[in-house]
Structure 1
Amino acid sequence: MKIKAAATFFIMSTTALTSCTSLPSSGPAVKDVEAQATARVTSAKKPQAVGIDYALVDLNKTVLNFVQSATTTSLVGGFGGGRGGAPSLPLGVGDIVQVSIFESQSGGLFIPNDAGSRPGNYVTLPQQTIDRDGTLSVPYAGRVRASGRAVEDVQRDIEDVLANRAIEPQVVITKVESRSAQVAVLGDVRTPSKIELTEAGERILDVLSEAGGLSAPGVETYVTLQRRGKSATVQYDHLVATPSENIYVAPGDTILVDRERRTYLAFGASGLNGRFDFEESNLTLGEALGKAGGLLDARANPAQLMLYRTVEKSFLSKLGVDTAKFAGDTVPVIFRANLRDPAAFFAVQKFPMQDKDVIYVSNSDSVEVLKFLEILNSVTSTASGVTSDAVSTRDAIRDLN
């Protein structure tokens, strides 16, 4: 009877405390937030559901084969240029050139009769910059169109114009500075700058080298090539390991080098919860779990180690999954590993982690039972405490009387 009375008293006290608005709180209650909302966006069928469709994939040997052969982004696929010769570098606006004109003998248009005291039968014109209209100026030939044309073609045009005035003229145009054939290298390199291209042809790694190399770890560095409104990104280590990706750069290209710190999250019954850096190495699922403190022996369910990741639809198609029910080109996937299986430890050591992965270790069923028992224990302890407090109060009042 005493326990029953104490429990009744406890429930009534709890109800009274709950209804009291003066209890300390760090913020509004959930019911107040919901009640005072002007509008609510919820799912009518499943009010508590997020509403994101996902696939559950158990980690096994077959899955490992497809994960390890996952495709990466490509430069050569978007721009080409990995094979063949270097791109041609025509003259362009802003280029500084020098024009030399040769004649076969003295007494011509440019070489006087007393040419014996000259070092040769030619004249060199002052350096000049190709104008905004794309032309350069040559005496007795006028304005000659140069921008966008090969040096040989411009030389030939000048020779044709001077042919009736000079003696068998031959023209040589020398590029002093090629301002139109440059690429900009920006971001996480030691000396961001504009790199002048040469006729020899420069590739991605060549211009990165001229910019002083990377200022960040290669494993966390991405290289983006922008060209005429198009863009493609490749991981630096993949660029180095795949020669076909080291394509020729072209005038006007912009190369952005960006360090992206790779991180993953760990939640649940792991030794540590929070965000973790890959740092300067690649990680497997096993290594990432170890970095997060492993599994808590008293809480974790080893059969329910889960990794959350968004993958391409093609990955699920290779596994025989019907992807028609998923909208978009990517699918949220939960990879599940059963660490009660001894062979699963080999699997998690081969499963590569990716940036922004989420690891979740679920609690074992026994932990949930223990939580319930602890609640029951706290209720009964509180009830007995209330009875004892009531008796003590009664005695104290009697003593006062």
Structure 2
Amino acid sequence: MFTNLKLGLGFTLVAAILSGCAATPRAGPDDRAIEANAYVKVSAKDRQVGIDYALVDINASVLAYFGKEEAASFGGFGGGRGGPPTLPLGVGDVVAISVFEAQSGGLFIPADAGSRPGNFITLPEQTIDRAGTISVPYAGRVRAAGRSVDEVQQEIEDLLANRAIEPQVVITTVKSRSSQVAVLGDVRAPAKFELSPAGDRILDMISQAGGLSAPGIETYVTLQRRGKTATVLYDHLANTPAENIYVAPGDTIFVNRERRTYLAFGATGLSGRFDFEESGLTLGEALGKAGGLLDGRADPAQVMLYRTVSRDALAKLGVDTRKFASNEVPVIFRANLRDPATFFAVQKFAMHDKDIIYVSNSDSVELLKFLNLVNSVSSTAAGVSGDVVDTRNALRAL
């Protein structure tokens, strides 16, 4: 009888522990309670996420394509070589026009003008209107927007040639509103700046805006021009002269600080979010910042790095990407640190912003977890049966 009682209590206790009995301490409802009380459940078959991914082992051939972080470029805008762009007149520019004549008694200089510093007259300053024209007496309206100063001067001279005495025209740009560049974001003095005819490059404009207000290693520079956009890390821009291209009228430069981070989970010394703190962070260095692998838990052969990679990059590697619909393919890179050569590989494999590192537990750890659970259950069951025997003896003593 007591044998049956002992077995019954043991099985009851095991069932209670394995089913998550409500009597055990909890910080909140368990997964069964949450699922049972849900009004609506949205789930896929077998509760699968449904995201297809590629698994790529890190080796020497992979390093040829992922050995260093790809740097974006401003090369598509041009302006890296040659001279600065020309700055034509534009709508909104304020100009002053001076007309010189060879001698007095002409169209603009009367014969009795007396002592003068020169035979010229300066017209009142005027703004190039929305139609792109300016007004010159006896010459009428002259198209100025989109043309160089020399072209407009020559046309006015030709229009006045039959009226004035050997006219010569000088146009001075008082304010160049059409040749401005806006510098915004994480700079000390964001504003719009007029371009110099000598030419201004991207770093020149950032300097005019007071320089960066954030660390250069975490700062990105975005150039917008006529609907086209490109973004470059500031350190790459500063260290690569070819990227420091000339800006053009109407450009917008946006300087943005963005913390470059990665996540580390699993059997690492530290788990959480980590800052790059340097531009050329590698997988080996990232593992070191996360405390390395836990000697008593980690499986060195299962170090995973999660990242989305372009289809073109995978195609160059020889991966069949036909099953993936998107241009960005989820990829898990796996490093086998049981192989000594892999330590050289992870020191060359570049980290990207928002990468995720996961180190799996070894199979022996999972086995120990199960054995500990069995030992805990059997010990508890033995204790309960001992209590039953003690109670029986006490009753007999009465």
Give the deviation of 1:396 after TM superposition. Answer: 6.5
- State which drifts further: 356-365 or 333-342: 333-342
- Distance change in 2, residues 1:334/1:15 (3 Å): closer
The code of the aligned residue for 2:184 comes to L
Q: Deviations over 1:122-155 (max 9, x none)?
A: 1122322223333323233333332222212222
- State which drifts further: 83-92 or 188-197: 83-92
Counterpart for residue 215 of structure 2:
217
**Structure 1: segments with no counterpart, 5+ residues:** none
Instruction: Measure the CA separation in 1 of the matches of 2:7 and 2:138.
Output: 113
Q: Tell me the SS of whatever aligns to 1:117.
A: coil
Q: Tell me the SS of whatever aligns to 1:389.
A: helix
Counterpart for residue 5 of structure 1:
5
Instruction: Measure the CA separation in 1 of the matches of 2:372 and 2:3.
Output: 18
Instruction: Measure the CA separation in 2 of the matches of 1:311 and 1:203.
Output: 32
Choose the corresponding residue for 1:239, options 218, 226, 237: 237
Choose the corresponding residue for 1:206, options 204, 207, 211: 204
Give the deviation of 1:63 after TM superposition. Answer: 1.3
Give the deviation of 1:14 after TM superposition. Answer: 6.4
Counterpart for residue 348 of structure 1:
346
Choose the corresponding residue for 1:81, options 64, 79, 82: 79
Q: Tell me the SS of whatever aligns to 2:47.
A: coil
**Structure 2: segments with no counterpart, 5+ residues:** none
Counterpart for residue 126 of structure 1:
124
The code of the aligned residue for 2:124 comes to P
Give the deviation of 1:295 after TM superposition. Answer: 0.9
Q: Tell me the SS of whatever aligns to 1:152.
A: helix
Written as runs of structure 1 = structure 2, the 5 A alignment for 1:177-216 is 177-216=175-214
The code of the aligned residue for 2:62 comes to V
Q: Tell me the SS of whatever aligns to 2:245.
A: coil
* Partners of 2:68 and 2:350 within 8 A in 1: no
Counterpart for residue 54 of structure 1:
53
Give the deviation of 1:12 after TM superposition. Answer: 2.9
Give the deviation of 1:298 after TM superposition. Answer: 0.8
* Partners of 2:14 and 2:377 within 8 A in 1: no
Instruction: Measure the CA separation in 2 of the matches of 1:113 and 1:288.
Output: 85
* Partners of 2:69 and 2:352 within 8 A in 1: no
Instruction: Measure the CA separation in 2 of the matches of 1:232 and 1:348.
Output: 30
- Distance change in 2, residues 1:299/1:83 (3 Å): same
Counterpart for residue 31 of structure 2:
30
Instruction: Measure the CA separation in 2 of the matches of 1:301 and 1:272.
Output: 16
Q: Tell me the SS of whatever aligns to 2:299.
A: strand
Q: Tell me the SS of whatever aligns to 2:147.
A: coil
Answering whether residue 285 of structure 2 is matched by residue 299 of structure 1, we say no
Give the deviation of 1:369 after TM superposition. Answer: 1.1
Q: RMSD between aligned alpha carbons?
A: 2.5
- State which drifts further: 147-156 or 301-310: 147-156
State the identity %: 69
Counterpart for residue 378 of structure 1:
376
Written as runs of structure 1 = structure 2, the 5 A alignment for 1:2-401 is 5-12=5-12, 25-44=26-45, 47-68=46-67, 71-77=70-76, 79-393=77-391
* Partners of 1:219 and 1:282 within 8 A in 2: no
- Distance change in 2, residues 1:68/1:280 (3 Å): closer
- Distance change in 2, residues 1:160/1:396 (3 Å): farther
What number of residue pairs does the alignment pair up?
397
- Distance change in 2, residues 1:184/1:398 (3 Å): farther
Q: Tell me the SS of whatever aligns to 2:106.
A: coil
Give the deviation of 1:392 after TM superposition. Answer: 4.8
The code of the aligned residue for 1:385 comes to G
